[in-house]
Amino acid sequence: MKNIRNFAIIAHVDHGKSTLADRFLEITGVVEKGKHEEQFLDRNPISRERGITIKLAPVRMKYEYKSYNDYNHYKSYILNLIDTPGHIDFSYEVDRTLSCVEGVILLVDATQGIQAQTVANAYKALEKNLVIIPAINKIDLPQAQIEKTKKELINFLGVKDEEIYLVSAKTGQGVEELLYAIIEKIPDPLGLTQNLAERSRPFPTNISDSQYLQALIFDSYFDQHRGVIVFVRVFSGQIKKGQKVFLVNAKVEVTVEEVGYFTPDLKEADQLAAGEIGYVVTNLKDIHQVDVGETIIDFVGNGSSNPQPLPGYKKIKPMVFAGVFPTDTADYLNLKKALEKLYLNDAAISFSPIYSKALGSGFRVGFLGLLHADVVCERLEREFGLSLVLTPPQVEFKKDNHSYLEPYVKLTIITPSKYLGDVLVLCQNHRAKFLTMNNIGKSDSIQLNYEMPMVELIADFFDKLKSVSSGYASLDWEFLDYRPVLASPLTLLLNGRAIDEFSEIVPSQKAYEKASFLVGRLKELIPRQQFEVRIQAAFLGKIIASARIAPFRKDVLVKSGKVLGTGDVGRKRKLLEKQKEGKKRMKMVGDVEIPKEAFLKLFRR
Ligand SMILES: Nc1nc2c(ncn2[C@@H]2O[C@H](COP(=O)(O)OP(=O)(O)OP(=O)(O)O)[C@@H](O)[C@H]2O)c(=O)[nH]1
Ligand SMILES: [Mg+2]
């Protein structure tokens, strides 16, 4: 165990975590330099296309360490790295990662300095008592502000200048020194650091020397042929093929089919021992029995001998909800199965069945934010071959007798001081309540704390914040509580018929603004139909906004005024097929045809 180091890379989005991981993988010979894709650990195609990490990614590396001081000190280490996403919508991946490691590299982009998720993720690591190695990245860039970023880190973490590592994940400069720091500064899985022979952090349970198996499930996915595959951190004991184990919370017995570690592909091994990170093939076909945060222990016959669960994880609460419907109503069960399987790989979603008059049977799915909603739906479509309609993601209001309560968040914004004025005005316009303001380090970065209604946050606040600060301000939020608000349903009508899917509760103060925005947007998004379409918005029994779309006749069989004759059957069929294909991307709402994208685009500006 002394030769194992488990660590994660955490940072604000885009500060270079996955690129740094590439360099580690090259130095340790997992991949060959110049022969792999950039951000090698971002393996999901959606992640690659969007250039952001959406999943935690574990990988095991081997490294031959030679001490600088003592050349006889030559040892082979196993380094388990977990790369994490930086975007706040995937923060649950970070939460789960941090329970599996003893230390982290906190990476800060030298051109950006400390940003909101730098702070949020660092606090998470501090809370877990992890060793934090601060590193400044992108020092190769001419606009890098190394000294300023250093000052921010010194002030924020209370570290010394010489404890901060300077690297370029792009060129590899300083990366090997960082590997040395991981070995020297991050404790082994028993909590012992190399130099100080003392426990630097309490062991997660009090049976650290136990022979009994205790492994924490931190991620999972469903494999068509092998059933549920879980990712584990073993805290004590061992786990190997053929062993009978027990899931403490689900109370099910499982015979282990295979164990191994990440290369990052799955590589079979004889066993996983205490301190290691790897995977377990369970062959469980009933996917409801496995949950992240579950503890695997030895099977002790009916689970009778007082099994010890590890602390596991706080369940995360989705804050944004949308209806998800199959375009083809016959796909309902496929959607259900897809959601269940996806849940194994993304425990941050929640779902429950709903029915809509216009869209049929579907699910009300909870997400952590709009990007998360977008990514989940794209994964459902691509990984499970579904075609879906998503109603506009909304925040959940609670009804309390005749009044409404709305969710509030605690908002943290970090901005360079020169944009402060504009940021303050922006917050004011979004019903935010100012709490505190302070400087980060001796730099000109300012941290602002607010309380703000969640509904204000999810619409377009982030985009506006980016635009008033030329991209420099960043934000982090956390759910606070529900508070009373004067609000009512804003109903959208198409040709006099209320369309529930487009209706939502809005604060009275925002009703006019919202109504005219939605009506205007729908007018752009709904194509002309054979008849006139009237769009209206009603609030408290009054129509407060309206628009119309003029009718338009389009029959594909009438081309340049001439009806295609019977002799042209092939061509006629082709045109009809094409029209049918187009219709698949449409959805009938009432008697109006609406493109699928309209549902998602409606609330985006
Ligand atoms: N010049 C320069 N560019 C870098 C460096 N490190 C990363 N980048 C670039 O910064 C961008 C973001 O890098 P990623 O490694 O994807 O960042 P990340 O932190 O993994 O991003 P998320 O996982 O989405 O939060 C990419 O375009 C990288 O090529 C560096 O040291 N120097
Ligand atoms: Mg990344």
Give the Cα separation of 101 and 78 in Å (integer).
13
Confidence of residue 200 (pLDDT cuts 50, 70, 90): very low
Q: Which of 493, 494, 491 has its CA nearest to residue 591? A: 494
Upper half-sphere CA count for residue 325 (Cβ side, 13 Å): 26
> What is d(CA 208, CA 225) in angstroms, rounded to the nearest whole number?
35
Report pLDDT for 599: 72
Percent of the chain whose predicted confidence (pLDDT) is above 90? 62
Kindly report, residue by residue over 51-64, the tens digit of the pLDDT. Answer: 999 999 999 999 98
Distance of alpha carbon 575 from alpha carbon 258, whole angstroms: 53
416-432: per-residue pLDDT in tens? Answer: 999 999 999 999 999 99
* 8 A C-beta contact, residue 167 and residue 105: no
If you average pLDDT over every residue of the chain, what do you get?
87
Instruction: For residue range 253-302, list pLDDT tens digits in order.
Output: 999 999 999 999 999 999 999 999 999 999 787 888 888 999 998 877 55
> In the chain, what percentage of residues exceed pLDDT 70?
87
* pLDDT value at 201 more than 50: no
Question: How confident is the model at residue 137, as a pLDDT?
Answer: 98
Contact between 81 and 59 under an 8 Å Cβ cutoff? The reply is: yes
Output DSSP code: residue 87: S
Atom of ligand 1 nearest to the CA of 47: 24
User: Given this model, what pLDDT does residue 61 score?
Assistant: 97
Locate tokens 């690129």: which residue? Answer: 19
- d(CA 405, CA 393) in angstroms, rounded, equals 18
Please give the number of the atom of ligand 1 that sits closest to the Cα of 38: 29
Specify the ligand 1 atom closest to the Cα of 137. Answer: 31
Q: Do the bridges between strand 388-390 and strand 320-326 make them parallel or antiparallel, or are there none, so unpaired? A: antiparallel
Q: Please determine, for residue 15, whether its predicted confidence score (pLDDT) is greater than 90.
A: yes
Tens of pLDDT along 547-596?
Answer: 999 887 655 555 544 555 555 666 666 666 665 555 555 667 777 888 77
447-449-454 Cα angle (round to 5): 130
Name the closest-CA residue to atom 13, ligand 1: 16
Instruction: Decide if 257 contacts 282 (C-beta within 8 A).
Output: yes
Judge whether residue 372 has pLDDT over 50.
Answer: yes
pLDDT tens-place string over residues 90-139: 999 999 999 999 999 999 999 999 999 999 999 999 999 999 999 999 99
Say how many Å lie between the CA of residue 94 and the centre of ligand 2: 12
Residue 170 — very low, low, confident or very high, per pLDDT cuts 50/70/90? very high
Higher pLDDT pick, 313 / 423: 423
Ligand closest to CA 37:
1
pLDDT of residue 1: 74
Give the separation between CA 550 and CA 533, rounded to whole angstroms: 7
Predicted pLDDT at 578: 60
Which of 14, 42, 106, 171 to mutate for ligand 1's pocket (most ligand atoms within 8 Å of CB)?
14
User: What six digits make up the tokens of 208?
Assistant: 């650290």
First to last CA, the chain: 53
Separation of CA 464 and ligand 1 centre (Å) = 24
Q: Six-digit token pair at 48? A: 């690659």
Using CB distances shorter than 6 Å, the residues near ligand 1 are 11, 13-19, 39, 52-53, 85-87, 137-138, 140-141, 168-170
Closest-approaching ligand to the CA atom of 14: 1
HEC secondary structure over 7-73: EEEEECCCCCHHHHHHHHHHHCCCCCCCCCCCCCCCCCHHHHHHCCCCCCEEEEEEEEEECCCCCCC
C-alpha–C-alpha distance, residues 427 and 382, integer Å: 37
Cα 416 to ligand 1 centroid, rounded to whole Å: 21
Single-letter amino acid code for the residue at 446: I
312: confidence class by pLDDT, cuts 50, 70, 90: confident
Given a cut of 50, whether residue 206 has pLDDT beyond it is: no
| Token pair recorded at residue 570 | 């092939």
* Cβ pair 189, 102 in contact under 8 A: yes
pLDDT tens-place string over residues 21-48 = 999 999 999 999 989 999 999 999 999 9
The predicted pLDDT at position 20 comes to 97
d(CA 404, CA 135): 46
In this structure, are residues 121 and 132 in contact, taking their beta carbons and an 8 Å threshold? Answer: no
- 538, 516 Cβ separation under 8 angstroms: no
Residue 157 has, within 13 A of its CA and on its CB side, a CA count of: 31
With beta carbons less than 8 A apart as the criterion, state whether 517 and 603 touch.
no
Q: What is the 8-class DSSP label of residue 393?
A: P
Atom of ligand 1 nearest to the CA of 52: 24
* Nearest atom within ligand 1 for CA of residue 138: 31
pLDDT number for residue 197? 38
Could you tell me the pLDDT band of residue 473, with boundaries at 50, 70 and 90?
A: very high
Q: What is the pLDDT of residue 333?
A: 96
DSSP H/E element including 376: helix 370-384
CA of 138 to the centre of ligand 1 (A): 8
Instruction: Indicate whether 71 pLDDT > 60.
Output: yes
* Distance (Å, whole) CA 181 – CA 362: 51
This prediction's pTM: 0.87
For residue 478, report the distance from its CA to the centre of ligand 2, in Å. Answer: 22
Contacts (Cβ under 8 Å, ≥6 apart) of 359: 323, 325, 389, 391, 501, 587, 589
pLDDT of 3 strictly over 50: yes
Q: Collapse the DSSP code of 421 into the 3-class scheme (helix H, G, I; strand E, B; otherwise coil) and give the result.
A: helix
Q: How many C-alpha atoms does 53 have within 13 Å on its Cβ side?
A: 32
Ligand 1 atom 30 nearest Cα: 138
CA 592–ligand 2 middle distance (angstroms): 42
Question: Residue of the nearest CA to atom 2 in ligand 1?
Answer: 138
